[in-house]
Structure 1
Amino acid sequence: MKGVLLVNLGSPDSPEPKDVKPYLDEFLMDKYVIDVPFLLRAFLVRGIILRKRPEESAHAYKKIWTDEGSPLIVLSERMHKKVKPLVDVPVALAMRYGSMTIEKGLQELHEQGVTDVMLLPLYPQYAMASTLTIEVLAEKIRKKSFPNMKLTNFPAFYNKPGFIRVLSESIKKHLEGFNYDQLVFSYHGIPERHIRKTDVTKSHCKIDGSCCATASEAHAFCYRHQCYETTRLVAEYLQLPKESYTLTFQSRLAGDKWLEPYTDVEIDNMPAKGIKKIAVVTPAFVTDCLETLEEIAMRANEDFKENGGEEFLAIPCLNDDDEWCEVVADWIKDWVKN
């Protein structure tokens, strides 16, 4: 019997430091997130980062927390609830980090008699710190607890027509009546070394401005290429002039070189260039979360206006949009048929 496990990032159980700290520990100690040897990772995370970060992150989470709970969890559950009746197979929801574990999700499917699972990470673009870590952990759990279960990994959907269509239509809808100077496509940042590590050719990815536009099998696992391709396809769908939009990367950590240009730097510099009205969309996320609600809709908005900007529009993620849920359901139906 077939079934589907939708997997998103996860969230602390509450916006209090006591719950944020173990969540951050699990997240940052993931070797696919901070990809350095264990002892160095433990020193960085537990010896340095977790001394201050839980309080800072708790403050940020409190700014976006709702009466129902974490926006990412609440919105993911709404999307899950809408997808389930659209398909004829069991669909479960899990998170990579936090209490809604992948093991619980697989157990839920197992109890419904599912032996063949499609694992669908809710990340449009492939990255080792998102897609890969989900796939690796799911397979580890499968081997240990569900040895007779088969896992099929759903590929990154950054260029799938259904995704591009619903993303583009969502942007179009939210831009109605907003006379913007620039549309910013802000993607979650990752260290440049992650790009090279996921290069299956071990030679194609040079991050030099040309490799992403040169055909290669490396593109199937190249986060940077997939971000640029999502932007290109949306711009093509919406017929956006090249000068009307820009692509940036947000949420970097200090230390290593991360993908550029940086969202905060670019947005802060826009007013001085005469760009006073901007809209920001975050296509690396399908669900609104800390990075979209606090970092972009609140912090980036405030910084932009402090630097002379006049109007700032944060375009929501797809969340539980009906058409988006139907697209996901169609993907599931196509897999069930095969």
Structure 2
Amino acid sequence: MRAAQLPGDHPIIPPPKIGVLLVNLGSPEAPTRDAVKAYLREFLSDRRVVELPPLLWQIILRGFVLNTRPATTAHAYRQIWTEAGSPLAAITAEQARGLSFGDTVIVDWAMRYGKPAIADRVKALKDAGCQRILIAPLYPQYSGATTATVNDRVFDVLKQMRWQPALRTLPPWHDDPAYIEALKVSVERQIAALSFVPDTIVASFHSMPVSTLEDGDPYHCQCQKTARLLGNALRRDLVVSFQSKLGRAKWLEPSTEETLARLGREGVKSVAVVTPGFAADNLETLEEIAIRGRETFVEAGGSDFAALECLNASTESMELMHLIIGRELEGWLPHS
């Protein structure tokens, strides 16, 4: 029989929770023109992503980009789409499921553009009792167009809350020894499984406008440092390149497409491409590198080509994420 609650008694209040929100770039909801158009509209309207004068860019975006690019991009997505949906979203969800920091921590995930939206997941964590939340943008190298825009969106969400949770943000880990070791193990394991030994290893990073470097963004320097440290760990010289250029402005070079074509023309017969700027495989790795990159290299005279997987939810990836996220949770987690 349930005891009657006496005046002055208070119901048992569960202990506060701690939230961890993994955030990656985003994907359309489906590999269709309309879904891609909605995704690109949100993505390319971010002032952090495109830093042209807003009025000028909106004319270009709405008058040209959104009328031409969605069909091509939707075709590319259809080549990599899975039963679980977008590879990027599916892998990010798997990474979140694979992380555990005890009963007091709730690990969730979101996309900066598209769904699940940051606003929805931050609110869900708050409603679940999380009074402290660690935001983990899944970008090893920092850039205003990636890490900063995730944090911006989170701060915008908190502006709408009367009772805000305490907040921490995960710093970049481009030169963390544990990250370099995880990359080394992953690259060596995948190369050992190939039917050939690559003459050259290309480290391809997402490109950025040169103006971001000139304005003080550390992204380019952090990419170069990651490549140098990984090359040292592998005891091989890596060829660094940059992919996914958008628009006519000058972007970081050399481009990956031009690099693969040059290597093929110069007589290099076998190449492996690693993409250390991505925590999970996505359109840029699975279609741009694995499909179009292969075609470029072979047409230029190459023969053997391998697009190495990102760390994804591999054992080395989950150990790395547990380490770098656990480090940022120190002082919040209860003592065992």
Shared fold (TM-score greater than 0.5)?
yes
CA contact (8 A) 1:3 1:91 kept: yes
* 1:158-216 superposed Cα distances (whole Å, 9 cap, x missing partner): 1112211111110111111531111000000000111223x2xxxxxxxxxxxxxxxxx
Offset at 1:85? 6.1
CA contact (8 A) 2:269 2:302 kept: yes
Equivalent pairs, count? 313
TM-score (norm 2): 0.90
Inter-partner Cα distance in structure 2 for 1:5 and 1:89: 11
One-letter amino acid matched to 2:120 = K
Distance 1:190 1:86, change over 3 A: farther
Task: Give the alignment of 1:19-168 within 5 angstroms.
Answer: 19-84=35-100, 88-145=104-161, 147-168=163-184
Pair 1:297 & 2:290 matched: yes
* 1:106-126 superposed Cα distances (whole Å, 9 cap, x missing partner): 012102211221111000001
Distance 1:86 1:247, change over 3 A: farther
Q: Matched residue of 2:246: which SS?
A: coil
Inter-partner Cα distance in structure 1 for 2:103 and 2:87: 25
* 1:105-150 superposed Cα distances (whole Å, 9 cap, x missing partner): 1012102211221111000001111111111111111111364222
CA contact (8 A) 1:287 1:319 kept: yes
- Pick from 193, 210, 213: which aligns with 1:195? 213
Question: C-alpha root-mean-square deviation of aligned residues, in Å?
Answer: 1.4
One-letter amino acid matched to 1:188 = H
TM-score (norm 1): 0.89
Q: Which residue of 1 aligns with 2:8?
A: none
Q: Which residue of 2 aligns with 1:227?
A: 223
One-letter amino acid matched to 2:118 = I
Q: Which residue of 2 aligns with 1:322?
A: 315
CA contact (8 A) 1:71 1:288 kept: yes
Inter-partner Cα distance in structure 1 for 2:275 and 2:222: 14
Gaps of at least 5 residues in structure 2 are 1-16, 332-336
Offset at 1:88? 4.7
Deviates more, 1:34-43 or 1:289-298: 34-43
- Pick from 161, 182, 190: which aligns with 2:200? 182
Q: Which residue of 1 aligns with 2:13?
A: none
Larger helix fraction of residues: 1
* 1:220-274 superposed Cα distances (whole Å, 9 cap, x missing partner): x50011001101111111222x3xx200000001311000111000101112211
Tell me which stretches of 4 or more aligned residues in structure 1 moved more than 3 Å: 84-88
Pair 1:15 & 2:31 matched: yes
CA contact (8 A) 2:170 2:328 kept: no
Deviates more, 1:297-306 or 1:85-94: 85-94
CA contact (8 A) 2:174 2:225 kept: yes
Inter-partner Cα distance in structure 1 for 2:305 and 2:207: 21
Inter-partner Cα distance in structure 2 for 1:281 and 1:167: 9
Pair 1:273 & 2:291 matched: no
Q: Matched residue of 2:100: which SS?
A: helix
Inter-partner Cα distance in structure 2 for 1:233 and 1:75: 26
Larger Rg: 1 or 2?
A: 2
CA contact (8 A) 1:87 1:333 kept: no
Q: Which residue of 2 aligns with 1:172?
A: 188
Inter-partner Cα distance in structure 1 for 2:125 and 2:180: 30
Q: Which residue of 2 aligns with 1:207?
A: none
Distance 1:278 1:145, change over 3 A: same
Offset at 1:87? 7.5
Percent identity for Structure 1 against Structure 2: 38
Q: Which residue of 2 aligns with 1:288?
A: 281
Gaps of at least 5 residues in structure 1 are 200-220
Q: Which residue of 2 aligns with 1:312?
A: 305
Offset at 1:2? 2.6
